[in-house]
Chains A and B, each alone.
Chain A
Amino acid sequence: MDLSAINPVVLVASLMVAATPILLAAVGELVVERAGVLNLGVEGMMITGAVCGFIVAVTTGSPLLGFVGAALGGALLSVLFGVLTQFLLSNQVATGLALTLFGLGLSALLGQGYVGVKSPTLSPVDLGPLSDLPVVGPILFAQDIIVYASLLLVAGVWAFLKFSRFGLILRAVGENHDAAHALGYHVIRVRMLAIMFGGACAGLGGGYLSLVRVPQWTEGMTAGAGWIALAIVVFASWRPWRLVLGAYLFGGVAVLQLNLQAAGIKVPVEILSMSPYLATILVLVIISVGRAPGSLGKPFHASG
C-alpha cells in the first residue's frame, strides 16, 4: 500500500469535477420538486443535454456554446414532460419514466454520427497568481468555469427560494397548489417554468459529462447519473446546500475509492465500491429533518 501516491489536492480537484454533473442535475430537479412536480426523467434530459451539447460544441468549435445547446436540449425535452403532465394531466411518475426511455433513445439517434469524434474541451479558468497558490490554488482557482457556475447556481437557487417573492410563490405552489390557485397565482405557469429550468440544469449536467468529464459522446454515457441526482434531492431533504454536500460527498468518495484501489489499499474492493452510496445515504439521513413539498407529484387542475 502506498497512500503517499495519492495527492490530496489533486483528489479534491478531481472530486469537484466528478460531482458537478450530479450537482447540476440535482439543483434543477430540486426546483422542480419544490414547485410540486416530480420529474423522474432526469436521466433522459441529462443524456439529451449531453448529446446536444456535444453536437453544438463540435459543430461550432466552442464548448461554451455547447453548454448553451445542452441546456436548450434538456429544456426542450422537459417541455414535452410539462405539456403532458400539466396540460394533459398525465401521471407524473409514468411520464417521467417514459421521458428517460425516450431521452435515451433520442440521444442515441441524434448522436449516431458523433461516436468517436473529439470535441473541443473546456480549459480551466486562468486566475493568474491565484491558481499558483499552494493547495487552495488547484482546488479553488484552477477549475473550469462550469464548476464555479454550478456553485453559483446553487447559491442563486437558495437565495431565490429563500428571499425572493417569486421563490415564495414557487414554494406556495409546491406546498398547496389549490391555495396558491385561490390566491390568484398561475400554478401551471409556475410549474412549467420550473420544469424547464430543471430540464436546462439536467441538460447542463449531461453536457458537462460529454464535454468535460469524459469527454466524448458515447451512447448511454450517463449510466445512471440522473437517478443518483434524483436520490440526492430526496436525501438532501430539498435544501440547496445539502445538495452540494451530497453531490460532493458522492463524487468525492467515488473518486477516492478508485484512488485507494490504484494505491493498493488492503480494503475489500466490494466495500470500496459501495462506499459512495453508503457514505452519501448515511450522512444525508443523519442530517435530514426536512419533508417533501405538500403537493409533490399531485396533479393540478384549476377546476379542482
Chain B
Amino acid sequence: MKRRTLLATSAGAAMAAAMGVPLRAQDDPLTVGFVYVGPVGDGGWTYQHEQGRLAVEAEFGDRVTTIFQESVPEGADAERVMTQMALNGADLIFATSFGYMEGVNNVAARFPDVRFEHATGYRRDHPNVTTYNSRFYEGRAVIGHIAGKMTQTNKIGYIASYPIPEVIMGINSTYLHAKAVNPDVELVVIWVYTWFDPAKEADAAKAMIEQGVDVITQHTDSTAPLAAASEAGGVIGFGQASDMAAFKPAPRVASIIDDWSPYYVKRVQQMLDGSYEQTDSWGGMPEGEVVIGEITEAVPAEVKAEAEAMIAAITAGEYHPFTGPINKQDGSVFLAEGEVATDAQLLTMDFYVEGMTGDIPS
C-alpha cells in the first residue's frame, strides 16, 4: 500500500469512526459489548449476565465477537466505557445496570448506528436505545411465600440496595406473599446503598440476625449474606440472581435465577438476520427469564408443593403477584378487588404496601 493511500484510508477510517459509521464489512463478525457493574465472579447478578454472554458465543461461534468490561461504576465512568466500546466497533452494547441509564442515552445520541440495550431502565430517548428487564417480582412472590411459612420468629430480613421501583417492587412482592400465609410477619429492611460490597452485606445480615431475623432475603449481588446466615446457624436464605448452589441444602433453601441467555441470544439473532427493532422487553417466568432454583429438602414438602403451584400459575399466566385488593402503606387503595397492576404502575412504584413499617428513603 502506498503511503498516500494508507493515509487516505486511515483518515477515512478516523472520520468514519468519528461520525459513528460502523466500520464492519458485511462478512465481519458482529461485535457485541457487555458492560457489567460488578466482577464476573460475583456469583450473582453480573455472573448471570456473563453466562448470557457465553451463551451468545456458544450459539453463534465466529459470527459474533463479544467484548466486556467488568466492575464499571455507575456514572461518568460508564459513559467513557461505552464510548470506548462504540469507538472500537461494537454494533450492539448491553449495559447491565440501572445506574447506567443517563450514560446509555448520552452515548446513544452520539452513536446513532450502534444499538444500545439497557437492563432494568425505562428511558429510551433515542431510536437506538432498547430497554429490557425481568419480572423478578414473580420470583420474589414465591420466595416470600416460602419465607412466610418458614420463619419461626416472624421476622424476615430484606437487604435492599437502592430505593428504585425495581427494588421496591421486590420488597412489596415478598411482603405481600409472606403476609398472605403468615399475618404476623414483619419485614425488616436495611438499605445498604450498594449493589456489591460483601463486607457490608454480611454486616447487614448479621445486624438482622442479632435482632431476631431468621429468614434473609437480599437485593444485592454477593453471596455474603448467605455466608453470614450459614455462620449464624438456624437462619435460612435464598440465592439471589444466581443459584448460589454452594450454600445448599441450608442456609440456601431456594433461589431466584435471572436467566438472560434466551433474551441475549434472541436479540443477537435479530441483529444478524436484520429483524432487530427497538423494544421494551419485560420477560418473566413464562419466557424462562426468571427461574426458581431447586427448593431443597429443608423446606417442608407441602410448602414446596404450594411454591411449585404458584410457579406453575405464574408461568401459565393465571396468577399475577400484584392482584388486588392491595392497599398502599397509608391505607389508600392501590388495586381494587381482582384488579391486576399494570406494567406502568409497577415500573413507577414508589410506595410500600399496607402493613410495612418504615419509610422508603427518597
The residues of A with any CB-CB pair to B shorter than 8 Å are 5-7, 10-11, 14, 18, 21, 104, 108, 111-112, 115-118, 121, 209, 213-216, 218-225, 254-255, 258-259, 261-264, 266, 268-270, 273
Contacts and interface: CB of A to CB of B under 8 A. Distances in A.
Given A216-B224, A223-B194, A262 B202 contact: no
A215 B223 CA distance: 10
B196 interface: yes
A214 B244 contact: no
B157 interface: yes
B211 A263 contact: yes
Contact of B202 (A7, A111, A214): A214
A220 B196 contact: yes
Contacts, number: 119
A214 B227 contact: yes
Contacts of B210: 6-7, 10-11, 14, 259
A264 to B, nearest CB: 5
Contact of B41 (A11, A14, A219, A270): A219
B188 interface: yes
B40 interface: yes
B39 A220 contact: yes
B42 A218 contact: yes
A215 B163 CA distance: 27
A209 B157 CA distance: 23
Contacts of B163: 269
Contact of B246 (A6, A116, A225, A268): A116
Contacts of B33: none
Interface in B322-362: 357-359, 361-362
Nearest to B46: A219
B169 to A, nearest CB: 18
Interface in B51-80: 71
B193 interface: yes
Contacts of B231: 121, 215
A118 B38 contact: no
A118 B246 contact: yes
Given A214-B202, A269-B361, A6 B40 contact: no
Interface string B259-298: 0000000000000000000000000000000000000000
Contacts of A117: 246
Contacts of B223: 116, 216, 218
Contacts of B211: 5-6, 259, 262-263
Per CB-CB distance, the 8 closest pairs between chain A and chain B, nearest first, are A116-B246, A219-B39, A219-B41, A269-B361, A223-B197, A258-B207, A221-B198, A5-B211
B193 A273 contact: yes
Contact of A264 (B39, B194, B202, B357): B357
A216 B245 CA distance: 14
Contacts of A209: 198-199
Contact of A254 (B191, B203, B359): B203
Nearest to B194: A223
A214 B188 contact: no
26 contacts: A6-B210, A14-B206, A18-B203, A115-B43, A116-B43, A116-B244, A117-B246, A121-B231, A214-B224, A215-B231, A218-B41, A218-B198, A218-B224, A220-B39, A220-B42, A223-B200, A224-B197, A225-B199, A254-B203, A258-B203, A261-B191, A262-B204, A264-B188, A266-B359, A268-B359, A268-B361
Given A216-B198, A219-B40, A223-B199, A262 B157 contact: yes
A258 B199 contact: no
B204 A5 contact: no
Nearest to A210: B198
B307 interface: no
Nearest to A268: B361
B198 A223 contact: yes
B190 A214 contact: no
